[in-house]
């Protein structure tokens, strides 16, 4: 049971902070300058006829 308690304490303290930082990083990555053109290009890939 000691492992469960340690993991629970870690998740309660640092796990939430890690998930919040990951979310903020993903939002910044998605809305960075110049990303719209790359996203539009990637969105058109399935529609291209090779």
Report helix, strand or coil for 31. Answer: coil
Number of helices (H) and strands (E), helices first, in the chain? Answer: 3, 0
Distance CA 19, CA 27 (A): 12
**Digitized pLDDT (tens) for each residue of the chain, 50 residues in all:** 689 998 888 888 898 899 999 999 999 998 999 888 888 999 999 988 86
At residue 25, the pLDDT reads 96
At residue 20, the pLDDT reads 94
pTM > 0.75:
no
Domain count, the chain: 1
At residue 1, the pLDDT reads 62
Residue 6 lies in domain = 2-47
- Phi and psi (nearest 5°) for 32? -70, 155
Distance CA 40, CA 31 (A): 13
At residue 34, the pLDDT reads 87
């Amino acid at each position: 049971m000691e492992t469960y308690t340690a993991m629970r304490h870690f998740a309660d303290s640092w796990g939430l902070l890690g998930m919040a930082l990951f979310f903020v990083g993903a939002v910044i990555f998605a809305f960075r300058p110049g990303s719209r053109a790359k996203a539009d290009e990637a969105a058109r890939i399935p529609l291209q006829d090779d």
